[in-house]
Amino acid sequence: MIEYREKLQRLIAGGTYRTLPHFERDGKYLVLDGERLLNLSSNDYLGLQQIPDLVEEYREAPEYSPLMSSASSRLLTGNDPSYDDLEQYLSSAYQVPSALVWTSGYDANSGIIPTLVDGETLFLADRQIHASMVEGLRLSGCRFSRFDHNDLSRLRNLLERNEGEYRHIWVLVESVYSMDGDEAPLEEIVALKRDFPSMCLYVDEAHSVGVRGGGLGICREKGLVSGVDVMLGTLGKALGSVGAFSLQSESLRELLVSQARPLIYTTALPPIMIGWTLFLLRKVREMEDRRQHLQEMIRRLGGRVGRTPESQIISLIVPGEERVAEAAEDFRRQGLYVRPIRKPTVPAGTERLRLSLTSAMNAEEIDHIAEVMKRWM
- Per residue in 34-54, pLDDT (tens digit) is 899 999 999 999 999 889 899
Reported as a single tens digit per residue, the pLDDT across 258-303 is 999 999 999 999 999 999 999 999 999 999 999 999 999 999 999 9
Confidence of residue 329 (pLDDT cuts 50, 70, 90): very high
CATH-assigned architecture of domain 58-284 = 3-Layer(aba) Sandwich (3.40)
Indicate which residue of 44, 204, 351, 365 is catalytic. 204
What is the per-residue pLDDT for 33? Answer: 87
What is the per-residue pLDDT for 161? Answer: 96
Give the rounded distance of the alpha carbon of 44 from its chain centre.
11
Q: SS3 for 200?
A: strand
What mean pLDDT, rounded, does the chain reach?
Answer: 95
Helix axes 105-115, 131-140, angle to 10 degrees: 30
CATH-assigned architecture of domain 11-40+287-374 = Alpha-Beta Complex (3.90)
What ranges do the domains of the chain cover?
A: 11-40+287-374, 58-284
- Note if 237 is an active site residue: yes
Reported as a single tens digit per residue, the pLDDT across 294-308 is 999 999 999 999 999
- Note if 130 is an active site residue: yes
Indicate which residue of 28, 207, 283, 293 is catalytic. 207
Indicate which residue of 44, 87, 109, 237 is catalytic. 237
For 136, other C-beta atoms within 10 Å of its C-beta total 28
What is the per-residue pLDDT for 272? Answer: 97
Confidence of residue 376 (pLDDT cuts 50, 70, 90): very high
What is the per-residue pLDDT for 15? Answer: 74
Angstrom distance (rounded) from CA 6 to CA 9: 5
Indicate which residue of 104, 109, 175, 178 is catalytic. 178
Indicate which residue of 80, 87, 107, 174 is catalytic. 174
- Note if 178 is an active site residue: yes
> Rounded to whole angstroms, what are the CA distances from 260 to 117, 265, 270?
12, 9, 20
What is the per-residue pLDDT for 125? Answer: 98
- Note if 174 is an active site residue: yes
Confidence of residue 73 (pLDDT cuts 50, 70, 90): very high
- Answer yes or no: are the C-beta atoms of 231 and 219 closer than 8 Å: yes
What is the per-residue pLDDT for 346? Answer: 85
Q: What is the DSSP string of 143-194?
A: -EEEE-TT-HHHHHHHHHHHBTTBSEEEEEEESB-TTT-PBP-HHHHHHGGG
Q: Given a cut of 90, is residue 17 above it in pLDDT?
A: no
For 269, other C-beta atoms within 10 Å of its C-beta total 26
Q: Given a cut of 80, is residue 214 above it in pLDDT?
A: yes
- Note if 43 is an active site residue: yes
What is the per-residue pLDDT for 19? Answer: 87
- Note if 98 is an active site residue: no
Burial class (CB in 10 A: 0-12, 13-18, 19+), 263: buried
Helix axes 250-259, 105-115, angle to 10 degrees: 100
Characterize the bridge pairing of strands 199-204 and 230-234: parallel
Burial class (CB in 10 A: 0-12, 13-18, 19+), 34: exposed
Q: Given a cut of 90, is residue 151 above it in pLDDT?
A: yes
